[in-house]
């Protein structure tokens, strides 16, 4: 494997860039140094990556957490530092997906993150992240399947600067004729609260057929970071606006409005959601303008046992979905630690 | 532009790399995790969902 020699040495973070020194030399260098020190003196915060623009909204809404049927996850943390865990997931009885078994493995230390999933059909999903310094990360994501045409590779590099973030991404790049999808994004803090940016998508289906589109992004974070508003404008006439607010320590609310005003299709979807973080449970509720009401409860009955119930009613289509899930986490205790904790003679080694 | 022959070779190499990655990615993670974690877990714990 090509990446194995890389992993054998643990990268130590590089020293931070040397402070700007007043070099009396070329006027260009002087000008650059003056510009850099002026920029530092503004004290603008890093706006966060473009990918995480709507992170808080996505964590509050239950669109990404919704499931139906029965689900069981058995996860085993085998080591804490470096982090190493394996997961067995079973799912059945879903209206949309076939019953499945999934095995996952995850390894992470200070600079490397590796994750892999294989399902019962032999399809592999993988992620590999390599952190070079605290603010520079290269990521790879792939999906490998027995069937041709279902393979996906995505290479990405994230750089978080002092008051800006840059991300470049390539999806299915072909070394032969450079076809693929290429993305580049830039987000810059303009004031202490406001960040503006853009994202360019360059598609090359064939070397002759290329297409570029640019979308514009804005993010406003309140000074006490209790509310965040974002807006995304895409040239095809798609506007997405989100708002997230932390009402109290335990309650988050989020709203999302998506407007599509393309010549062929005019549509608007509004979603309103709330999340309650209680001591041993998390409750999410959501209502949207397509007539869907959904709720999800995650209840932790014991430190290693989580029970999840999800439900959704579509009032316009007159349909409903119910999901029940259990998650069991095995602790990463060795027999010695277990013995010390339980004060009883060890049972069989395993 | 590379010649047709080079193109063929690149496509073959990519295909081989893809197959290798497909079959070795999860064993590779398990190997790295198994050898590097402290304390080292037992092998049966690694594979069986019940252990």
Domain assignment of residue A26, yes or no: no
Reported confidence tier of residue A263, pLDDT bands at 50, 70, 90: confident
pLDDT tens readout for residues A59-100? 999 888 999 999 999 998 888 888 898 999 999 988 888 899
- Which range has the worst mean pLDDT, A38-47, A230-239, A285-294, A325-334? A325-334
Q: Give the residue, A75 or A13, on which the prediction is more confident.
A: A75
pLDDT at A201: 93
* DSSP-derived 3-state class of residue A152: strand
The residues, any chain, with a CB within 8 Å of residue A130's CB and separated by 6 or more, are: A6, A11, A111, A112, A137, A138, A139
> Confidence class of residue A348 from pLDDT cuts 50, 70 and 90?
very low
At residue B3, the pLDDT reads 83
- Phi/psi of residue A28, nearest 5 degrees: -65, -45
CB neighbourhood size of A289 (10 A): 13
Burial class (CB in 10 A: 0-12, 13-18, 19+), B25: buried
Measured between beta carbons, which residues in chain A are less than 8 angstroms from residue B20? 1
Q: Please answer yes or no on whether A1 and B42 come within 8 Å at the CB atom.
A: no
**pLDDT of the residue at A26:** 85
E strand intervals along A161-291 = 164-171, 180-189, 194-204, 210-221, 227-234, 238-246, 251-261, 266-277, 281-288
CA dihedral B23, B24, B30, B31 (to 10 degrees): 150
Mean pLDDT, range A287-308, rounded to an integer: 92
Tokens 């085998």: give the residue.
A78
| Of the candidate ranges A26-40, A127-141, A286-300, B28-42, the one whose mean pLDDT is the lowest | B28-42
Kindly report the nearest CA distance between residue A144 and chain B, in angstroms: 6
Host H or E run for residue A69: strand A69-79
Residue of B nearest to A175 (CA): B10
B3–chain A Cβ distance below 8 A for any pair: no
pLDDT at A11: 45
Taking the Cβ of residue A194 and every Cβ of chain B, the question of whether any pair is shorter than 8 Å is answered with no
Quick one: closest CA in A to B38, which residue?
A: A79
pLDDT interval class at A24 (50, 70, 90)? low
Distances A3 to A140, B17, B34 between C-alpha atoms, Å: 12, 12, 17
Mean per-residue pLDDT over chain A, rounded? 85
In chain B, residues with a C-beta closer than 8 Å to the C-beta of A350 are 42, 44-45, 51
Count: domains in chain A? 1
CATH of residue A214? 2.40.160.10
Domain that holds residue A196: 46-341
In a domain, A11, yes or no: no
Q: Answer whether residue A349 is part of any domain.
A: no
Test the B interface: residue of A7, A79, A106 with most B CBs within 10 Å: A79
Helix (H, G, I), strand (E, B) or coil at A334: coil
- Is residue A346 a part of any domain in this protein? no
Partner residue facing B26 (CB), from A88, A116, A334: A116
What is the model's pTM?
Answer: 0.78
Q: Which residues of B touch A81 (CB under 8 A)?
A: 38
pLDDT value of position A287? 95
A334 pLDDT higher than 90:
no
In a domain, A30, yes or no: no
pLDDT band at residue A16 using 50, 70 and 90 as cut-offs? low
Q: Which residue of B has its CA nearest to A144?
A: B22
pLDDT, mean of residues A277-303: 93
Provide the shortest C-alpha distance from residue A2 to chain B (in Å): 9
Band (B28; pLDDT cuts 50, 70, 90): very high
Count of Cβ atoms closer than 10 Å to residue A196 Cβ: 17
Dihedral sign from CA coordinates of A172, A175, A178, A182: positive
pLDDT at A21: 54
Report yes or no on A3 lying in a domain: no
Model confidence over A102-138: pLDDT tens digits?
Answer: 999 999 998 999 999 999 888 999 999 999 998 899 9
In a domain, A16, yes or no: no
Q: Mean pLDDT over residues A202-217, rounded?
A: 89
> So what's the pLDDT on residue A333?
55
| Cα separation, A143 vs A325, whole angstroms | 26
B24-37 average pLDDT score: 90
**Per the domain annotation, does A9 fall within a domain?**
no
């Amino acid at each position: 494997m090509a990446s194995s020699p890389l992993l054998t040495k643990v990268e130590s973070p590089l020293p931070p860039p040397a402070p700007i020194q007043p070099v009396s030399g070329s006027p260009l260098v002087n000008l650059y140094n003056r510009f850099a020190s002026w920029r530092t003196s503004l004290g603008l915060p890093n706006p966060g990556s473009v990918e995480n623009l709507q992170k808080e909204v996505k964590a509050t809404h239950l669109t990404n957490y919704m499931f139906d049927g029965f689900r069981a996850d058995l996860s085993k943390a085998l080591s804490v530092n470096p982090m190493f865990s394996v997961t067995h997931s079973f799912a059945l009885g879903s209206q949309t997906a076939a019953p499945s078994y999934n095995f996952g493995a995850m390894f992470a230390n200070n600079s490397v993150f590796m994750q892999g999933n294989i399902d019962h059909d032999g399809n592999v999903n993988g992620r590999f992240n390599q952190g070079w310094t605290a603010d520079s990360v290269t990521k790879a994501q792939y999906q490998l399947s027995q069937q041709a045409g279902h393979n996906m590779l995505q290479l990405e590099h994230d750089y978080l600067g002092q008051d800006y973030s840059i991300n470049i991404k390539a999806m299915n790049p072909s070394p032969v004729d450079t076809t693929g999808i290429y993305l580049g994004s830039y987000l810059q803090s303009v004031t202490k609260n406001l960040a503006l940016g853009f994202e360019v998508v360059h598609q090359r289906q064939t070397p002759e057929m290329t297409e570029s589109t640019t979308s514009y992004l804005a993010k406003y974070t309140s000074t006490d970071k209790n509310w965040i508003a974002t807006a995304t404008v895409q040239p095809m006439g798609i506007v997405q606006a989100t708002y997230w607010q932390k009402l109290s320590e335990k309650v988050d609310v989020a709203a999302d409005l998506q407007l599509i005003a393309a010549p062929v299709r005019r549509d608007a979807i509004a979603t309103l959601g709330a999340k309650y973080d209680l001591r041993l449970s998390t409750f999410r509720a959501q209502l949207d303008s397509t007539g869907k009401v959904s709720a999800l409860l995650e209840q932790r009955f014991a430190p290693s046992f989580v029970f999840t119930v999800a439900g959704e009613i579509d009032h316009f289509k007159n349909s409903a979905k119910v999901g029940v899930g259990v998650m069991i986490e095995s602790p990463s205790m060795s027999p010695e630690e277990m013995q010390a904790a339980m004060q009883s003679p060890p049972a069989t080694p395993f | 532009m590379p010649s047709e022959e080079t193109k063929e070779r690149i496509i073959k190499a990519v295909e081989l790399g893809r197959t290798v990655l497909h079959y070795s990615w999860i064993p590779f993670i398990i190997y790295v995790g198994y050898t590097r974690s402290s304390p080292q877990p037992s092998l049966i714990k690694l594979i069986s969902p019940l252990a």
